[in-house]
């Protein structure tokens, strides 16, 4: 029994993601956001509380729409060793086609906004756990299937993959070059293979 919203929350959140992703939290003003979202400042505050609340919602939506979507789509669709490879190759492809050098909003948040905001830090830390868990499932399954090396624990390997993922996304923001990102990935994927030789790699 009141006046309804004139905007679609998902659409304006996508616009907010765009600004925050490109410029970060501090360098994006509420006026920038309201312009990009095509709503008035008062509507922004009415709907999302404050700049902080908007950022948290935008970050969560970003994670859902990019990483979580990717994991949900890839993991059940192919064997674990391939899932890891496709996961990384999709991310490199996106990094190379990112003409604005936005990089990765997760990494940007982890570096810029999370360290001094417990709410942001929690979102980032929890999600890093999710990615590590995804890698861990893939590596463990791959080891059981005999397509991933047992020379290292699944725990260590999944941590290495997490580290490489973050490194790729840093480079995506500052040196998004095909030779760099694809060259970087080759030894890492081979690291998963048994010393007796790879089995199940898409790259052969």
Partner DNA sequence: GCCAATCTAGATCGATCGTTCTATAACAAC
Partner DNA sequence: GTTGTTATAGAACGATCGATCTAGATTGGC
DSSP assigned state of 114: G
Out of 30, 40, 77, 151, name the contact with a copy of itself by CB under 8 A. 151
d(CA 188, CA 200): 15
Name which of DNA, a copy of itself, none residue 160 binds, using a CB cut-off of 5 to 8 Å depending on partner kind: a copy of itself
Neighbours of 203 (CB within 10 A): 10
DSSP string over 19-78: HHHHHTTTT--HHHHHHHHTS-HHHHHHHHSSHHHHHHHHHHHHHIIIIIHHHHHHGGGS
Nearer to DNA, 1 or 179 (CB): 1
- The reply to whether 89 sits near a copy of itself by the rule CB under 8 A is no
Q: How many residues bind a copy of itself (CB under 8 A)?
A: 49
- The reply to whether 111 sits near a copy of itself by the rule CB under 8 A is yes
Nearer to DNA, 23 or 70 (CB): 23
d(CA 192, CA 158): 10
| 113-132: contacts with a copy of itself (CB under 8 A) | 114-116, 121, 124-125, 128
- Nearest-CA neighbor of 38 among 6, 12, 8, 67? 12
- The reply to whether 84 sits near a copy of itself by the rule CB under 8 A is no
List Cα–Cα distances, 10 to 15, 73, 120, in angstroms.
9, 21, 20
Per-residue mark of binding to a copy of itself, 21-60 (x: CB under 8 A): --xx-xx---------------------------------
Nearer to a copy of itself, 3 or 196 (CB): 196
Question: In this structure, what token pair is assigned to residue 104?
Answer: 């990765």
Out of 1, 2, 42, 195, name the contact with a copy of itself by CB under 8 A. 195
Q: Shortest Cβ distance from residue 149 to DNA (Å)?
A: 48
């Amino acid at each position: 029994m009141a006046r309804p919203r004139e905007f679609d929350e998902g659409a304006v959140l996508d616009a907010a993601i765009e600004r925050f992703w490109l410029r970060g939290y501090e360098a994006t003003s509420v006026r920038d956001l309201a312009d990009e979202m095509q709503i008035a400042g008062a509507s922004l505050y009415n709907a999302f509380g404050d700049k902080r609340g908007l950022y948290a919602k935008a970050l969560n939506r970003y994670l859902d729409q990019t990483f979580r979507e990717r994991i949900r789509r890839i993991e059940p669709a192919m064997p674990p060793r391939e899932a890891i490879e496709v996961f990384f190759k999709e991310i490199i492809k996106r990094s190379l086609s990112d003409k604005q050098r936005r990089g990765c909003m997760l990494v940007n948040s982890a570096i810029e906004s999370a360290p001094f905001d417990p709410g942001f830090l929690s979102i980032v830390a929890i999600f890093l756990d999710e990615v590590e868990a995804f890698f861990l499932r893939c590596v463990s399954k791959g080891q059981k299937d005999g397509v991933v090396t047992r020379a290292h624990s699944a725990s260590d390997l999944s941590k290495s993959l997490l580290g490489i993922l973050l490194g790729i996304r840093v480079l995506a923001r500052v040196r998004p070059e095909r030779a760099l990102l694809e060259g970087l990935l080759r030894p890492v994927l081979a690291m998963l293979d048994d010393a007796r030789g790879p089995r199940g790699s898409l790259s052969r």
